[in-house]
Structure formats: C-alpha cells, structure tokens
Amino acid sequence: MSELQDLLVLEHVTKVFESREGRNVVAVNDVSLSIRKGELITLLGPSGCGKTTTLRLIAGFELPTRGRILLEGQDIAYLPPNKREMGMVFQSYALFPHLSVFENIAYGLRLRRLSKEEIEQRVRTFMALVNLTGLEQRKPAALSGGQQQRVALARAMAIRPRVLLFDEPLSNLDAKLRVALRAEIRQIQQRLGITSVYVTHDQSEAMALSDRIVVMNEGRVEQVGTPEEVYHRPATLFVADFVGRANFLPVEVLQLENTHAIVQFAGKRLCTPAHPDVRPNKPAVLMVRPEAIRLTSHALESNDALDGVVRNVAFLGHYVEYELTWDQHVLSVEDESLPGRLFRQGERVRWYFDPERAFVLPKR
Amino acid sequence: MDASLGPSPLSRARFLRSFTHSLRLLLRDSSLLIAFGVAVAFVGIAVLYPLVATLSRAFSAEGAAVLANVLARPVFHRIILNTLALGLTVATAGTLVGFLFAWVQVRVAAPQWIKRFIHTAALVPVVSPPFAVAVAAIVLFGRNGLLTYQLFGLRTDIYGLPGLTLVMTLSFFTVAYLTLRGLLYGLDPSLDEAAANLGAGRWHQFRTVTLPMLLPGIASAFLLLFVEAIADLGNPLVLGGNYTVLATRLYLAIIGEYDLTAGAVLSVLLLVPSLALYLLQWRLATSASVVSITGKPSGRGRLITDKRATIPLVGGALLIAALVFLIYGTILVGAFVVSLGVNNALTLRNFEFVLVGYGAKAIIDTTLLSLLATPVAALLGMVIAFLVVRGKFHARNALDFGTMLGIAVPGTIFGIGYLLAFNTPTEVLGITVLPKLTGGAAVFGGALAIVMVYIIRSTPAGLRSGVAALQQIDPSIEEAAVSLGGSRPTTFRRIVLPLIRPAFFSSLIYAFARSMTTVSAILFLTTPQTRIMTQQILNETDAGRFGNAFAYVVILIAIVLVAIGLLSIFVGTRTGAEREAA
Amino acid sequence: MYRKTPFLFSAVTLVILLAACAVPSATQPPAAQPPAEQPTTPPQEAAPTQAPQAELPPAQAPEKPSTLTVLCTPQEDWCQAMTRAFEAETGIKTSYVRLSSGEALARLRAGKDNPEFSVWWGGPADTYVAAKAEGLLEPYISPNAAAIPDSQKDPEGYWTGVYVGALGFCSNRDVLAKLGVEKPDSWDDLLDERLKGQVAMAHPASSGTAYTAVWTQVVRLGSVDAAFDYLKKLHNNILQYTKSGAAPGQMAARGEIAVAIIFSHDCVKFADEGAPMLEVSFPKEGTGYEIGGVALIKGAPEPEAAKMWIDWVLTAKAQEIGATVKSYQLPTNPEAKVSERSVKLSEVKLVDYDFIEAGKSRKAITQRFEDEITVAPK
C-alpha cells in the first residue's frame, strides 16, 4: 500500500491521565497506526486497554500527551473536535432526546448551513439507508434501541465525515440485534466506502466487521492484522489468548525451516508454522485452537494420538465442548457434534491435531 | 530558597506539565476559557472578596480586642447559646414537619386534593419574605392574638424562642420537605418489598429499612435548616423580643452601635458554625450513596392504608398546612383592614400608602433589580454547573465550593462584607477595577451591589439543580453534538440548555423569588436612590404599621406569582424529551 | 469668620496625614481651597442677610444646586412630606433615606471619607452630639437659627434644633381597665406588680428614645447605679425591649401591653391613626425630652442645597408640616403654629437633660444595660 492511501496516521501517540489519587496512568502508550482510505479498522482489546481513549484522541475529545495525529498529512492533535469532520457513533446512542429523528439527523447539516432542500433530501437518503423511513417525527424515547442506533448512524454519516468513529455501538443491544446490525453497518460502510475506526471488546464483532484489527493491551498495540492473521498467526501470547480460545502446550524448538519450526512435543517431533521471533532453544509454546483438536475413542490404537480424560462435557448443539486433562494440563476441545458420539465425564479418550493448524509462539 | 518548603522538582515538573496541558486544552476551546474566567472572576469579586474583607477586619488588632471583650462578657455567651438553641429547635421541628409532609405525600394513601393542598402549603413560604409569617403570627398568636386571646382567652407570649421556633419552622420546612420527598420518591420500593417478603411488619420495615436509608437525607435537611435558622435575621428581629441571637446582635452592632469591627467579629462567630455545618451537610449529601436511586421506576410500592396510621399522619399534616394557609390568609386580610384584631374596618389605605407613596419606588426598584439578577443568576448557575460537571481542570471543585458560599454564608455577613469591601473603589495594582459600589455616590445608587448580592444568593440553587440535571445527561450527547461540527457555545445553547430546561426554569423562579424576598444581605446596602421592598416591610413592621407591611407582602407575593406564571409560559418546564403520552 | 477654621484645620490634618507619601497633593488644599470658597459662598450667605425674613433661599444663585440627599430620622411619612415640600419650593430634586438614629450614625461613620448624604434632619440631639465629637458634621449657622432658643442648638453651629418632644407613658385604656390599674403618672407606678409583662420600651443600644428614657433615670435619681437599680426593678414588668423606639406604642395599640414608654407625640400620632384607646400621661418626677436636630454633613456632596435645606427647615412654615402628617413634635421656631394635638411643654415637668453628658456616656451605659438588664432573670 502506498503512503498516499493512509488517510489517518497516529505517530507515537501517548496519553497520560492523572488519577484521583494524583498518580499518573498511562492510558495510551506510544501507539502508532496507519488507517487506509476506505477501510474499517477495529480497535479490539479488554476493557481498560486504551482502545476507547485512542478513539477519543482521534475524535479530539482528548488531547495527546505526546505524539502526532495526522489526517491527510495535516496534524490535527490540537484541532477542536468540531473542526475535524469526523462522525461518531456512541455506545449510548447519544441522540438528542429533545429533537425528533429528523432533527437529530439534520443537526450537523444545519450547522453546515446547507439549504433547506438539501437537508431534507440528505436526511431522507440516510434514513432510507438505515431503514428508518417513516419515523421522521418520532422522538428518540419512542424508538427501540436498535432504531435509536440506526438514527445515530444516519446522523453521523449524514455530515459525510472524513472518518467515521464507532465507540462500542452495539454493546447495549441484545445478541440477535447485534449480529443483524453489525452486518448492516459493514454493508453500508463498504457501499459508501467510509473510512471507519471501530472500537469493540467483542472479538466476533471485530472479526465480522473488520478489514484489519488492532489488538490493544495495557495501552499498547499488540498486533495489527487481518482477522485471519490475528486469529491464526497471533503476534503475541496475549493476542493468541484474547482472540478466540487457545490451548498452550509446552514445546522445545529444535530447528527452523522458513516459516516453520521443528519442535519436540510430548516426545514427538512436529513441524508446525512458527512466529518469526521463535529461535531454537529459546522458550516457546505451542498454540492449538480448541477446534483444531480431534478426539477418538480410547479403544482405537494410534501412534499420533495422546491419552486424556474427559473432565467436563457441554453439549452445545452445533459442537461439543470438552475439558480434557492431559499430563497436568487442562485442554479445551471443540469436537464435532455427531449423532451417537458423545464422550462421558471421566471417560478416557485419545486426542490429536494437525500440526499445520497449530502455531509456535515465543514465550516471554 | 529552602527546597523542603516548595514542591519537589519532580512534582513541580509534573504540575507544570499538567498545567500547560490544561492551558492548551483551554486555549483550544476559548469559549470554555471565557466561561471559566467569567465564573471565577464573579465568584472572586462578589463572594470571596467581601468575605476576605470581613475576615481581615475581624482578625485585625482592633478586631482581636473586640473579640476578647465579646468572649469575656456573659451576655455574649447567652447570645451564642441562644443562637445554637434556636438552630436546634428549628432544625428539629422543621425536619419533623418536612418529613411528615414528605411521608404523607409519597407513602400514605390519601385523596389527591389533600396531597395537593399539603404540597401547596409547603411551597407558599418560598414566595414570601421570610418574616411575613412572624408578623402574622403576632396578630394571630400574640398577647392580644386573634386566635389565642380573642378566641381562647390565652395570654401567650409569642416573643422569644417558642414563637421563633413556630414561625421559622413554618417558613423554612420547605427545604426539608423537598429534600426528603425527592429521596422518598427515589427510594426503590423493592427494598421494602424485600423486607416484607422476609416477614417484616410495616413499622419494622420503616425502622430497619426505610429510616436508615433516609438517614443521610434527614441529617442533611436538618443541617441545612440549622444553618438557615441561625442565619435568619428577619424573624428574630420581628419576633425575638428579648431573645437575642447572633444575627440580631450583629445587626445591632452595625445599626445601633455603628461598629463595623464588632460586626465583622460577630460575623466570624456566626460564620464558623454555619460553614462547619454546611461542610458537614455537603459531605453527607455527596456521600449519600446509601440511597438507591434506580433510575427506572420500579413501581411506587404499597401506600399505607391502615387507618390507625393514616388518620394521625394526614391529620397532622393537614393541621400544619391549614396553619400555613391561616397565616397567609391573615396577611391577605390584614392588608385590607385598618389594624387586624384591633380595628377590623375594611380599608384600602394600606395599599394607598404602599402604592402611592414612596412604596411605589421600592416596588419598581426591587422588581427591576430582581429581574436583572434573575437571568444572570440562573445562567451563571447553569454555566458553572456545566464547568463543574464537565470540566476537566483542577479548579472545578473550588469553583463549586466558592459559588456555594453564596448561600452557605449568612446574608448579614455579606451585607457587612460588601460595606467593608466596596465602600471605596476596588483597586488591583493601582488600577480601579470596580467603582464604589456601596454607600453614598455609589455607582447606580448602590443598585449594582444589590444586584450582585441577589446573584450570589441565587446562583447556588441554580448550580445545584444544574449539576443534578447535567449528571442525568450522558456526556456523549454533547460529544455527539460537537463531533457533528457544533462549537462548545452552540452545543451549550442548542443541546445542553434545552435538556436542562426544567432546572433552568426552576432556578429562574428561585432566583427571582429569592431576590424579591432577600432581607438580611441587603439591609446595609440600600441607598437614597435604591429602595428595597423587604427593607420597607421591615421598616413598617418595626414601626408597628402591620397593615402597610401586609399590603407590601401581598404585592410582593403577587409579583412573584405573576413572574412565575410568565416564566412558565415563556421558558416552559419541559425539555421536549419526555415520552409522548400516546 | 470662624467658618474658615475647619478648612484650615482639615488642611493641616491632611498635611500631617499625607506628608509621608505625596508632597504635592498635601500642599495643594490650603492653596486651592480658600479662593475657591470665596466666589461660591457669598451669594448663599448674602441672600438671607439681605432678606432675613425670607422663607426661601434666593433662586437667583449663579449655580443653582439641582439635587439633595437627606438623611432622615423621623417617621417615613414626615420625611416624605418634608422632602416633597422642599422640592416643590426650590425645584431641587430631593431624595432621602429613612434610618433610625443609630443606623444614621453608623451610615455616616461608614461613609466618612465619601459621604453619601449632604444633610441630616431629625433624630435626637445626643446622636448629633456624638456625630460632632466624631467629626462627622460641618458647622453651619443658618441665618434662620437666630430665632431658635439657645438651649435648642449647638453653640458652635454643628447642629440646630428643629423640634422638641417629651418622653411619656403611652397607655392602652382598655388593657389598663381590664387589669384594674390606673393610668400611670409616676415612674414608680410602672413597678406595679399587676403590670408584670405589660410594659415595653425599646433597647437603648438601637433606639435614641430608649436611651433618653434610661438617661432620664440617671438624671432623676442622681447616679448611674441608682438608675440601674430602678431599671432592674422595671425589667420585671417589661415584656420586651424592641429595636425601634416607637414600636412599643404600636404594641400598646394592638393591646399586647398596657403601657409603652415612648415619645408622647408618637403616642398621639398612633391614637390619631386608628388606636383611639391610647392615652398619654407624664411622670410627675419629671421626664426626659429630645431635641430633633438638623446638621450639615462634613464633606457633603451637595453643600449649597444642604444649607438651603437647613435654612428652610428652621422656618415656621416648614416646621408646621409635621402636624399635617400627624407628627406632633413641638416646633423649635417660636413663630410656628403649634397643633392642638401637640403636648404643651409648659404642662410637663422636664428633667435637666444634658445632651453632651448623655452622648458621652452612651456607649458605657448601653453596654451596661445589655450586660445587666437584658439578661437578668424575671
């Protein structure tokens, strides 16, 4: 990607807050990011990781302690939020409760002194886009949560922002609506090609929506990558653990071969994909996702399989979740749900995985 | 320079960084800076400076001598004890009455008209000058009282502590009522339900669940009443008789003994308990997390229907409410007769006296000055509330407290403070910032000082209701407005103000009523060019022309009521965010 | 001639006070003041001497003053009637503030450096004596003051008497009848046990009237101690000490008490204003009296208008206004008509009241009153 396509750039941005007791808390620590024109990038991380602060720095609600924020090459770190041309969608919708739906959406347009006809036309367009036509004169209090968030989305988009910011917009909605609305957001965002920064702590939401994901922890960026990269090729143990579930197994790295490493695991040699930082004889772990593990009956002999005991079973319909004990470890396994095949608690089983579906990470 | 005296270099560097940081933040948003500057300047000049002037006079060498003299004289020990006793009785009685009213209003099953009647009775004292009740009480319950002597043949002595307690309770219990009513409404009834579910009876529920939950609120109402009672000047002046309290003694020091130093010393004696109790109340009110405000209404709970409980409760509240109306009825009737209880012939002479004579000027002056102060006080209250709630700078708590001093400090002390501070032009570094505000040749005939006092006395209420309203508003609503391209002032005007309109409305009403009825703070500030109704009422009362005093009170109440009516038409009490009835 | 002395005196004081800081401004006043005085004052002074009987100051003064602010101590309606009449006669826009004598002195003291009032009218002479001692007044001998008896004015011209009033007992006839008590005509009659809680007077700290009553005891009984012995006994019968001097009269009018110790003219006024049951009587041992004064305030912002006011209030015509608003104080100008409702001083025994002594002792006596009397048990 060329430099020109980086619409929004954060350079070594740090934000220090002073806590009530007078101690300094580093909320955002030396974050550098480039956001490309037209993409939807998600800031993902546990609460308190600095993702919302980063978003608010971009929006201009907070000032960076250090670092620069460039929008189309221009430093906007000290530009007031109302001069930034960024639309924002809030977790709490933040609709103006005393204004009708129409007036909410028209608010930013009136500030821009658009003509009456243009406002009318643009509000109608965006209301149609979010499927709200007919609700123009309602007050926000008379709308459902999902409708309210659609209004907020229309309002933020109506000003044709240079960047659209989302601050956990779906977390106040119930699960089904969340899934429906996130698909809708993705669709509209792609159709209009609006550059978007999206904050969430929900990894499936991040996966479903994003062109790229920025995983953050304790104010730092852990990894920037496509959902697939983040999931299968995590840059750190934290990412591996936070995005999806993972079993971490003890290995010894013997040798490197291009993108792979030869490792010693449970007395066997495996060739698995490896993190570039993995070095022979340096501590490392083997990450195996629960769905990569397969179970077989203990009765079947196999050289590749290992012994385990079922500690807990949860039948979830589309798959079965097991907890296995193996050599002082507890493993999570997601096994296929097949009629007639269900291992019982306390039952001895055999388990194995395809080394290509595992990943070796350096241990810090 | 001794390093140990100053902050360590490290923390100084940090301070500097956070300082420059907040400065950059403020400069980026100059509107915030201007609002902050205006608020700080106003609080500094109108609230703190007069207080500092009073304190520095009290703690001068001259003041120390006066203080020694005061503390040595037993009569002052008596006065201090009297003051505390008055505070205690009024606070106790006022809290009880307020609680009774609130309880009947929220928790007892009673016909709606009774509740409305009680509620109105509780609010009437707000729109009348505080000592109007005292004057009517003399007519009703005095030695030759219409009720006590002429009806029941009792020779009661209303002058003194019992009379003061009665009158001040009826004048001030509104504060306790409104505080406790709000708490009772906010109390989650499911707690009572849970207690009942566990087998607790009504009385047991009240004692073990409701009362402990309300305790911080009750204590806070008690303390507020205490502060208000010891600060009051009008009632003890009219009804104190030989029962002298600090406020009246302070008045005497200025008016009778022409001794500003003694006034300043007594001010400090009065200021210490007032501020201490006020701070205690502040802590209680801000830490009252025991009260569970759930936000979503979870039903109103069961109302008390047991006749053994409702009859005494409703009866008691009705009796007190009737007393309030009897007193205001007396004022109304008294305005139209020669001398109520002595010569009950109907006459319009009282109104002629008030409207034709110099009273007309007092009415116009007072109304005009109050009208000037009202929007400023209400708007300032909202702006300071905004800075306090949404501000990100360190000074916001100091700004909050400084503003609240306007009401925490007894009015008389401001009267003295203004005399001490503004009787000469105010200079900073040799530059005159303010002309002479009080006394002769003061700018606008002293009207500016009076308006300033009106504003500082009414802004705190606006600030509190503004803070309460703003805390209900999700800050991201404002952020949304800003991110859509609105500047801070635009957002404040188009989004914030409409949303806190009920708070704004109530603080407009409060500011106007408060200004029209202020007594103690302006008594020392009137000049030949500016006449104030409350002072005229006090003069008429003092001269024993109760009929004229009543006529003034009737006109004053009428003006306040008309103003409230007009305000509710032009400002409105709704935000527009309410869910439509359909 | 001696009108120049205060200027010189103040100039000297100024020199002393300012010597340390600013030499030019300190030397300026003596040089600038006297010549400035010459052109402005003569016309004012000359007019009355040309026409000593004239009721009004001349209207042809070169620079006619346009406003006047009066500090007024008597009842509000009298203040109003006086200022209106003055305004009508001179065209000078006249405003006033009505303050009790104590308040008046407090305000004058507070505004010493920059007075808000030009002239002070009404209120007992002892407060004028105090104000003179504190340097708050400016001497001015009005040409019309010649008509006022010497006993009713300051020999140095700091104040001049405008009315006289005697202290008396203001009784409610109906209440007395119910109690079965005769109208009191001796100070000792007030100690009657049946009058317990039936007597009221004002507090001497806030009221000149009450202070007159207290000082009367000192004169009558010969010593302060004897006076306090009497006041302690009287305290048993006192319902309360009010803030304002006339308030006990209204309490009597409302039937709250039987006897009020107030100025007799106030009692007559109340009786005329709707309380016909009120009756005046005087103690046979002798009673105190007040002389209402008028004085020019030092540093008055409107000195010319103030002098016109003083000249005017000493005229018979101005002194007759009081009776029209039921203020029955006796005029000091012998030519003024005396209302029938006014008390004839010839019929009342007056004590030998020394205003200067009374004024000097005021602070000590009021403090002793507060310490000993108000807290005494009944």
Calculate the dihedral angle through the C-alpha atoms of A149, A153, A155, A156, rounding to the nearest 10 degrees.
130
Q: Enumerate neighbours of C (3 or more CB pairs within 8 A).
A: B
Establish if A219 touches chain B: CB-CB under 8 angstroms. no
What percent of chain A has pLDDT above 70? Answer: 98
3-class DSSP assignment, residue A159: coil
pLDDT tier at A124, thresholds 50, 70, 90: very high
pLDDT score of B288 more than 60? no
Query: Tokens in use for C109?
Result: 């003291």
Amino acid at C338: V
All domains in chain A, ordered by first residue: 3-238 (3.40.50.300), 245-362 (2.40.50.140)
Residues of B in contact with A96 (CB under 8 A): 477, 480-481, 495, 499
- Nearest CB partner across the interface for C111, out of B139, B252, B439: B439
- With cut-offs at 50, 70 and 90, classify the pLDDT of residue A102: very high
Q: Which of residues 109-138 of B touch C (CB under 8 A)?
A: 138
Q: Which residues contact A211 (CB under 8 A, 6 or more apart)?
A: A39, A40, A41, A226
Comparing CA positions, the residue from A72, A90, A40 lying closest to residue A193 is A40
Structure tokens at B260: 């500003």
Residues A59 and A77: beta-carbon distance below 8 Å: no
Per residue in B78-134, pLDDT tens? 999 999 999 999 999 999 999 999 999 888 888 888 999 999 999 888 888 878 888
Select from C100, C105, C256 the Cβ nearest to the Cβ of B144. Answer: C256
Q: How far apart are CA C329 and CA B543, in angstroms?
A: 17
At C63 the pLDDT is: 60
Per-residue pLDDT at B317: 93
Contacts of C174 (CB under 8 A, 6+ apart): C255, C277
pLDDT, average across residues B19-45? 77
More confident residue, A134 or C376: A134
- Optimal mutation site among B21, B484, B578, interface A, most CBs of chain A within 10 A: B484
| pLDDT at residue C50, as a whole number | 40
Chain B residues inside the 8 Å CB shell of C244: 542-543
CB contact under 8 A, C249 and B539: no
B167 membership: H or E segment, kind and range = helix B161-186
- Pair of tokens at residue A345: 């608690």
Which ipTM score applies to this complex?
0.83
Tally of helices (H runs) and strands (E runs) in chain C: 14, 11
A346: how many CB neighbours lie within 10 A of its CB? 9
In chain B, whose CA is at the least distance from the CA of C94? B528
- Taking an 8 Å cut-off on Cβ atoms, the answer to whether B419 and C110 are in contact is yes
Q: Which two three-digit tokens encode residue A136?
A: 């123009």
Chain B residues in contact with C256 by the CB 8 A cut-off are: 138, 142-144
Is A78 at the interface with chain B, CB within 8 A? Answer: yes
| Position B50 pLDDT exceeds 90 | yes
Q: Which residue has the higher pLDDT, B201 or B99?
A: B99
The answer on pLDDT for C23 being more than 60 is: no
> CA nearest A16 in B: which residue?
B18
Give the residue with greater pLDDT, A64 vs C6. Answer: A64
Cβ burial of C21 (10 Å; 0-12, 13-18, 19+) is exposed
- How many CB atoms within 10 Å of residue A150? 26
Q: Which residues of B touch A139 (CB under 8 A)?
A: 576-577, 579-580
Q: Between A317 and B442, where is the model more confident?
A: A317
Q: Could you tell me if C252 and C183 are in contact, meaning their C-beta atoms sit under 8 angstroms apart?
A: no
CA angle (C80, C85, C90) in 5-degree steps: 130
Q: Does the beta-carbon distance from B577 to A98 stay under 8 Å?
A: yes
Asked whether the beta carbons of residue B483 and residue A87 sit closer than 8 angstroms, the reply is yes
pLDDT per residue as tens digits for the range C321-378: 988 888 889 898 888 888 888 877 778 888 888 888 887 888 889 889 988 887 777 6
Any CB–CB contact under 8 A between A341 and chain B?
no
Burial C286-309 (b: 16+ CB within 10 A, else e): bbbbbbbbbbbbbbbbbbbbbbbb
Q: Which residue has the tokens 């120049």?
A: C4
CB A243 within 8 A of CB A237: no
Alpha carbon of B367: minimum distance to chain C alpha carbons (Å): 19
How high is the pLDDT of residue B439? Answer: 62
Contact C239 B241 (CB under 8 A): yes
**In the numeric block, which tokens belong to residue C138?**
């400016």
Of B78, B342, B527, the CB nearest to C253: B342
Q: Which residues of B touch C370 (CB under 8 A)?
A: 75
Helices (H), chain C: 4-18, 23-50, 76-90, 101-110, 125-133, 173-179, 208-221, 224-235, 247-253, 264-272, 303-313, 316-319, 321-324, 355-368
Residue type, C207: S
pLDDT for the residue numbered C262? 94
Pick the more confident residue, A295 or B17: A295
Query: What tokens were used for B342?
Result: 């002595």
Question: Which range in B554-558, C60-64, C250-254 is most confidently predicted, on average pLDDT?
Answer: B554-558
pLDDT at C19: 36
Mutate to test the interface with B, among A15, A78, A96 (most CBs of B within 10 A): A96
The answer to whether A105 and A126 are in contact (CB under 8 A) is yes
How far apart are the C-alpha atoms of C310 and C159, rounded to whole Å? 10
Upper half-sphere CA count for residue C234 (Cβ side, 13 Å): 26
- CB contact under 8 Å between C197 and B256, yes or no, is no
If one counts every other C-beta atom within 10 angstroms of the C-beta of residue C126, the result is 26
Range(s) within chain C of domains with CATH label 3.40.190.10:
4-29+65-164+291-331, 165-289+344-373
Determine the distance from the C-alpha atom of residue B365 to the mean position of all C-alpha atoms in its chain, rounded to a whole number.
22
- Secondary structure letter of residue A245 according to DSSP: -
Distance CA(C248)–CA(C262), nearest Å, equals 7
A-chain residue closest to B500, CA distance? A98
How many residue pairs bridge chain A and chain B with CB atoms within 8 Å of each other?
Answer: 99
Best CATH choice for the domain C4-29+65-164+291-331 from the list 3.60.21.10, 2.40.50.180, 3.40.190.10, 3.40.50.12170: 3.40.190.10
What contacts C84, CB < 8 A, 6 or more positions away?
C94
B487·A80 Cβ contact <8 A: yes
Min distance C62 CA to chain B CA atoms (Å): 24
Query: What is the structure's pLDDT at C26?
Result: 35
What's the gap in Å between the CA of B477 and the closest CA on chain A? Answer: 4
The three-point CA angle A58-A64-A69 to 5° equals 45
Whole-angstrom Cα distance, residue C48 to residue C56? 8
Candidates C100, C107, C121, C196: best to mutate against B (most CBs of B within 10 A) is C107
| HEC sequence for B472-530 | HCCHHHHHHHHHCCCCHHHHHHHHHHHHCHHHHHHHHHHHHHHHHHCCCCCCCCCECCE
How many other C-beta atoms are found inside a 10 Å radius of the C-beta of residue B353? 19
Q: Tell me the two tokens of residue A287.
A: 């990450």
Phi, psi of A324 (to 5 degrees): -110, 145
Please name the member of B257, B528, B542 whose beta carbon is closest to the beta carbon of C247: B542
Please list the residues that pair with A308 across neighbouring strands.
A349
Domains of chain B, start order: 75-292+306-330 (1.10.3720.10)
Inter-chain residue contact B484 with A141, CB threshold 8 Å: no
| pLDDT (average), residues B473-496 | 88
Instruction: Name the band, by pLDDT with cuts 50, 70 and 90, for residue B300.
Output: low
Q: Tell me what pLDDT residue B500 has.
A: 87
B257 at C interface, C-beta within 8 A: yes
pLDDT value of residue C62: 46
Using CA atoms, how far apart are residues C70 and C119, in angstroms rounded to an integer? 5
Instruction: Measure the CA–CA gap between B50 and B45, rounded to whole angstroms.
Output: 8
Token output for C260: 């009020």
* CATH (one of 3.30.420.40, 3.40.50.980, 3.40.190.10, 2.40.30.40) for C165-289+344-373: 3.40.190.10
Q: What integer pLDDT is reported at residue B433 of this predicted model?
A: 67
Q: For residue range C95-151, list pLDDT tens digits in order.
A: 888 887 777 887 788 778 878 889 999 988 888 888 898 899 999 999 999 988 888
Average per-residue pLDDT for chain B: 83
Q: How far is C76 from chain B (nearest CA, A)?
A: 9
Q: Which of B257, B339, B440 sits opposite C205 (nearest CB)?
A: B257
CA angle C295, C301, C306 (to 5 degrees): 40
Residues 6+ apart with CB under 8 A from A100: A136, A137, A138, A139
Q: Which value, to the nearest 10 degrees, does the dihedral of the CA atoms of residues C34, C35, C41, C47 take?
A: 130
Is the pLDDT at B389 greater than 50, yes or no? yes
Three-class DSSP category at C297 = strand
Residues of B in contact with A18 (CB under 8 A): 18
Please write the tens of the pLDDT for every residue from B356-375: 867 888 899 999 999 999 99
According to DSSP, the β-strands at A329-336 and B343-346 are unpaired
- Find the residue in B nearest to A142 (Cα): B579
Chain C partners within 8 Å of B423 (Cβ): 110-111, 114
- C to B contact (≥3 Cβ pairs closer than 8 Å): yes
pLDDT at residue B157 in the model: 76
Q: Where are the alpha helices (DSSP H) in chain A?
A: 51-59, 101-111, 116-129, 145-158, 175-192, 203-209, 227-232, 237-242
pLDDT tens-place string over residues A143-183: 998 999 999 999 999 999 999 999 999 988 888 899 999 99
What pLDDT shows up at residue C217? 94
Q: Is the pLDDT of residue B291 over 60?
A: no
Q: Write down the pLDDT at residue B531.
A: 83
Answer positive or negative: Cα dihedral of B282, B460, B240, B546. Answer: negative
Contact indicator for C266, C252 with CB cutoff of 8 Å: no
Which chains are within 8 Å of A by 3+ CB pairs?
A: B
**CA C204, CA A149: separation in Å to the nearest integer?**
75
CB-based contact (8 Å) between A108 and chain B? yes
What percent of chain C has pLDDT above 70?
Answer: 82
Beta-carbon separation of A90 and B476 below 8 A? yes
Is the pLDDT at C44 greater than 50? The verdict is no
Top mean pLDDT of B437-441, B500-504, B553-557, C12-16 is at B553-557
The reported pLDDT for the residue numbered B309 is: 81
Distance to chain B for C310, nearest Cα, Å: 19
For residue C96, the distance in angstroms to the closest alpha carbon of chain B comes to 5
Contact of A18 with chain B, judged by CB distance below 8 Å, is answered with: yes
Q: For B13-25, what is each residue's pLDDT tens digit? A: 656 655 666 666 5
